[in-house]
Amino acid sequence: MRLLATGLLCLAAVIFLLTHLLTDLTGIWGFVARGSEAAMIGAIADWFAVTALFRHPLGLPIPHTAIIPRKKDALGASLSGFVAANFLKSHTVAPKILRAGVTKRAGEWLAQPGNQAVLVARAGQGLEYVLARVDDDSVEALTRKVLVPKLVDLHKAPVLGRLLREIVQDGAHRRLVDLVLGEAYTWLANNPQVIEGLVQQKTPEWVPSFIHGSVAGRLQREVLTWVADLHNDRDHKARQALDQWLLELADQLGEEGTSVAERAEVVLDELLQQEGVVHAVLDAWVSLRRLLRSAVVDTEGEVHVRIRQMLAGLAERATTDAEFQATVDARLATTAGDLVESFGDEFASVISDTIAGWDAKEASERIELYVGKDLQYIRINGTVIGALVGVVIHALTLVLPGV
């Protein structure tokens, strides 16, 4: 297109020269001469205008030329502000998200087993990447220098009291009590000699041995019966007394300054400062890392299977449940709208920062190439329109007397 525009200029120049050299400029040749002359003027003027946008014409530092290289940063900032003010707004982004049907489209993509496998594999790779870069020394240092000191400085008794109260009120401790009572019953039933030995120690030496056995057997049966009652009856008075004691203990732990709370703080601090705590955390981390890595490696393992099943269920709901789609799309639209309202200027700054990072000459060339043929059509149009105007002016000079 540059060659075409320049060729038209050269053609007009050739016609202009030929008409002046070979004709008397009368009749039709006058129109041709004036048209070619005006065409050259229009072509050169538009060439200057187009070139002045991107560089100095002929390399001459003429004022108000090479506009884009000189103003590229301001242009980038203006474009960035225009995009932020007119496009990155909640009322423009949110409706677009709603119309896009993101939830349904994501569900349709996720419904494909191959896509599920890809997603699980990518998540596993990401987890493996993280695990590979967290070494044992870092975990140990974090525990020793950060976690333990923070826990020591923290008032733990009130937290422990609230936790204990929640556990008792929810009845979460009952299974533990059942387990302890069940184990106690089994142990007492399998070790009758323990009670018999206690009886022998507490009775005088002159008491016959057969009485020891009788008393021990009766005592064992009574103890076993009592333990069984405790295990089977969750409303047993002893259990109620235990619950009440635990609630009172929780209240005392929650009250600052009580002897129980202060003693608990001392005991917990001493426990946390034990070297074994650091080793226990490190051992737990090593076990957890080994478990996670094995789950990541085994693509046919239970973890991968369960995740794929979960994704399949989510995909089915996203594609068939209209209410779910509407809810998720509305939340996505609201979130996207809030994000662009809060960070629209930062998002749009990508434009200004990118343009600012361009070399001035490079930026000029990129913009010129992007606009492309339209720039050269300006030159072509200038040549054609110039020729037509020249013809019209010449006609007016012939028609109007004294012109």
Domain ranges of the chain: 2-89+344-399, 157-251
Does pLDDT of 207 surpass 70? Answer: no
Please check the confidence at residue 327 and state whether its pLDDT lies above 60.
Answer: yes
Q: What is the pLDDT of residue 11?
A: 94
| Residue 195's pLDDT band (cuts 50, 70, 90) | low
- Average pLDDT rounded to a whole number, residues 240-265: 85
Q: How confident is the model over 225-240, as pLDDT tens digits?
A: 888 888 888 888 888 8
Token reading at 71: 């103003």
> Which long-range contacts does 193-198 make (Cβ < 8 Å, 24+ apart)?
195/219, 195/220, 195/223, 196/220
Report d(CA 187, CA 248) in Å as an integer: 31
Band (387; pLDDT cuts 50, 70, 90): very high
| pLDDT value, residue 125 | 82
Q: What is the dihedral of CA 331, 337, 342, 348, to 10 degrees?
A: 130
Q: Please indicate whether residue 299 or residue 389 has the higher confidence score (pLDDT).
A: 389
The full DSSP string for 327-363 is HHHHHHHHHHHHHHHHHHHHHHHHHHHHHHHS-HHHH
What is the pTM (predicted TM-score) of this model? 0.49
